[in-house]
Amino acid sequence: MTAARERREREAQESFDAYYTASAGRLISAVYAVTGNLADAEDAVQEAYARAWLRWDTLCAEGDPAPWIRTVALRLAVSTWRKARNRLRAQFRHGPPPDVPGLAPDRVALIEAVRALPADQRKAIVLHHLLDLPVAQVARELGATEAAIRTRLSRARRALAVRLDSPASDPAAPAGARRPTPTRQNRKGLPSP
């Protein structure tokens, strides 16, 4: 092997390692938000990066490898739904899997609320808000128009606001407690009758 080739391979390895370190955690969070299963999210992301390594030079030459890796990870994660039947059978035999330790109650409530969204809204919310992608890029990745993505985001935000603002989502709120309704004020700043 020539010295130039060894240098190129070392630079590619360093480039890949740095990229993986900087982006893997965020992608796992995004895929987890879509699938609702941390193990599946980690597996899908790991496989996506393994596939990216095989064509790393090509992906870097084409520009940013993030969309390709994200697409592969999401497709792998969604394909795990086909395996759900086997997981359900195992759960009936062995009981439910243990809860993910160490998550704050508000984070658990957010994850549950996002998981309750329809798949198209969930993907749009994750790509736009968790991965900070602009609406145009979300539209390209999901194969929809920008107007459709804005509609999905609007509907998802409304659904999340309703779900997360309800007293049932606040574990510290006593049963039957309601949040105070803000009072209307007139021009002088006094409460309206």
Q: Which two tokens stand for residue 123?
A: 């993907």
- Residue 137 scores a pLDDT above 50: yes
CA 68 – CA 174 distance, rounded (Å)? 47
Half-sphere exposure of 96 (CA within 13 A, CB side): 4
pLDDT tens sequence across 87-107: 677 777 776 666 656 667 787
Measure CA 141 to chain center.
Answer: 14
pLDDT at 140: 93
Name the burial class of residue 121, with classes exposed (0-12), middle (13-18) and buried (19+) by CB atoms within 10 angstroms of its CB: buried
* Phi, psi of 185, deg, nearest 5: -125, 145
Q: Which residue has the higher pLDDT, 186 or 75?
A: 75
pLDDT at 150: 96
Average pLDDT over residues 62-85: 83
Q: Which amino acid is at 89?
A: R
pLDDT at 175: 43
CA 36 – CA 108 distance, rounded (Å)? 11
- CB 31, CB 44: distance < 8 Å: yes
pLDDT category of residue 128 using cuts at 50, 70 and 90: very high
User: In 3-state terms, the chain is what percent helix, strand and coil (to 5)?
Assistant: 75, 0, 25
Please give the C-alpha separations between residue 133 and each of 55, 124, 144, 188, in angstroms, as whole numbers.
24, 10, 14, 42
**153, 125, 127: which is closest to 138 by C-alpha?**
127
**Which of 75-84, 128-137, 152-161, 174-183 shows the lowest mean pLDDT across its residues?**
174-183
pLDDT at 152: 95
Angle 11-17-19 from CA coordinates, rounded to 5°: 100
pLDDT at 93: 76
Q: Which two tokens stand for residue 61?
A: 């030459």
**159, 177, 156: which is closest to 168 by C-alpha?**
177
pLDDT category of residue 77 using cuts at 50, 70 and 90: confident
**121, 128, 129: which is closest to 148 by C-alpha?**
121
pLDDT at 97: 62
pLDDT at 99: 63
- Residue 148 scores a pLDDT above 90: yes
pLDDT category of residue 53 using cuts at 50, 70 and 90: very high
